[in-house]
Amino acid sequence: MSTTPIPLDSVGYVSPQKIAFETPIQFASGASLPRFDLIVETYGELNAAKSNAVLVCHALSGHHHVAGYYRDAPDPSRSEGWWENLIGPGRPLDTRKFFVIGLNNLGGCHGSTGPGTINPATGQPFGSDFPVVTVPDWVEAQRLLADHFGIDSFAAILGGSLGGMQALQWSILHPDRVRNVLAIAAAPKLSAENIGFNEVARQAIRTDPDFHDGHFYAHGVVPRRGLRLSRMLGHLTYLSDDLMGEKFGRLLKGEDYQFGFDAEFEVESYLRYQGDKFAGYFDANTYLLMTKALDYFDPAKDFGGDLTAAFANSTAKFFIAAFTSDWRFSPARSKEIVRSLLANRHDVSYAEIESVEGHDSFLMPIPQYHALLRATFEGIRV
């Protein structure tokens, strides 16, 4: 076990808590669940006025473990949350000021009710019978979570990518319950190409013979091949050509070409490793649901395709950021959001940040980016 000390400006050791909601929830699809659980982590303390809460929404493969470390992990020093670099005492999202909530969304595979949960109707895991969930559905579950904590209004809701879409959706559905929206590396809706990449990933999973139409749990298998391909492809689209060039280029593992099909370029090894790792822990049905939520996200749809109309009642301050090397949700997509917000004369800041890390940039401690987040959070009155 490593003895690396945990940094002093981390929130330190944390524990998740599971919150039971013994009330039905209705989804956009018409389906419903009679009850559900959300697994959450919180950092910092909720003030007496309950005015200092920040909700962090996760992206495709994220979860509730946003910051801090797990004392019981095999190697605690490597158990940090996925946005550890952002959150802690003295960090840009300062837990001395804010009460931060991370959750795993409905349909997830990290403890919230999802496809791996036992379906009371069958006594078996839901599998592919789990309802298709949408961003508005998640916002509804998050609203019930806010009620649970007695939070009338979030100081801020923050997310990157699919997480940013949830933050935007909050400002549309519950404008009175969020004072600041930080949507990073997001888009107002997916392009045909975006949907296409998701569809390839879904087909990889769904055509894996071990998928068993989504009920693989009963067969004691997981569609590992499909999940692995999905993640390999995902990684390619999250990174940038430039970063991959810097990181791998045409480096070979061995001395020269092997004229076979073992991994011989470093980039091949990297992708296989990432795919294998992911296939070892992520749920295939959750992956399918997350990609569908992305495809369906289109808040303008209920307003005749008019994004400006969608944001008409929003009252939050907006911080919109995008990264130059992100070709999955490029700066042009964030600017579409900004234009609609400006057309409503909403209070919006936009930052286009130089980076080489592609879509994954939103997770990186890029100095200019973190300085802007710090300034934004410092400017929020609680």
* Contact range with its own copies by CB under 8 A, out of 41-49, 109-117, 176-184, 243-251: 243-251
User: Nearer Cβ to its own copies, position 203 or 313?
Assistant: 203
Question: Which one among 19, 144, 173, 236 touches its own copies, defined by CB under 8 A?
Answer: 236
Phi first, then psi: what are they for 147, rounded to 5°? -60, -45
d(CA 194, CA 293): 12
Q: How would you label 326-344 residue by residue, b for 16+ Cβ within 10 Å and e otherwise?
A: bebbbbebbbbbbebbbeb
Place of tokens 């929404």: 57
Residue 31 binds its own copies, judged by CB under 8 A? yes
All residues at 6 or more sequence positions from 149 whose CB lies less than 8 Å from its CB, including other chains: 46, 50, 53, 101
Question: Which one among 6, 132, 173, 312 touches its own copies, defined by CB under 8 A?
Answer: 132
Residue 359 binds its own copies, judged by CB under 8 A? no
CB of 32 to its own copies, least distance (A): 12
d(CA 76, CA 112): 23
Residue 121 binds its own copies, judged by CB under 8 A? no
CB of 137 to its own copies, least distance (A): 10
Partnered with residue 13 across adjacent β-strands are 69
Question: Which one among 209, 280, 365, 379 touches its own copies, defined by CB under 8 A?
Answer: 209
**Number of neighbours of residue 4 by Cβ within 10 angstroms:** 10
Question: Which one among 44, 102, 115, 131 touches its own copies, defined by CB under 8 A?
Answer: 131
Active-site position among 79, 359, 360, 361: 359
> Which alpha helices (DSSP H) does the chain contain, by range?
135-149, 162-173, 192-206, 224-238, 241-247, 266-279, 284-296, 307-310, 331-343, 367-378
161 is catalytic: yes
Active-site position among 61, 112, 128, 161: 161
d(CA 262, CA 81): 34
CB of 328 to its own copies, least distance (A): 10
Residues within window 276-305 making contact with its own copies, judged by CB under 8 A: 288, 292, 295-296, 298
CB 241 within 8 A of CB 247: no
* Contact range with its own copies by CB under 8 A, out of 56-64, 70-78, 152-160, 265-273: 265-273
Q: Tokens at residue 42, please?
A: 């919180």
d(CA 296, CA 185): 17
Partnered with residue 17 across adjacent β-strands are 40
How many chain residues bind its own copies (CB under 8 A)? 58
Question: Which one among 50, 143, 212, 225 touches its own copies, defined by CB under 8 A?
Answer: 225
Question: Which one among 5, 121, 192, 367 touches its own copies, defined by CB under 8 A?
Answer: 192
Residue 244 binds its own copies, judged by CB under 8 A? yes
CB 53 within 8 A of CB 30: no
CB 21 within 8 A of CB 37: yes
Question: Which one among 9, 45, 152, 193 touches its own copies, defined by CB under 8 A?
Answer: 193
User: Nearer Cβ to its own copies, position 199 or 347?
Assistant: 199
Residue 176 binds its own copies, judged by CB under 8 A? no
Residue 151 binds its own copies, judged by CB under 8 A? no
**Number of neighbours of residue 81 by Cβ within 10 angstroms:** 25
Site string for its own copies, 310-339 (x = CB under 8 A): -----------------x------------
Three-class SS state of 93: strand
> Which residues sit at the interface with its own copies, rule CB under 8 A?
28-31, 128, 131-132, 189-193, 195-197, 199-200, 202-204, 206-209, 225, 228-229, 232-233, 235-236, 239-241, 244-245, 247-250, 257, 259-261, 263, 265-268, 271-272, 275, 288, 292, 295-296, 298, 327
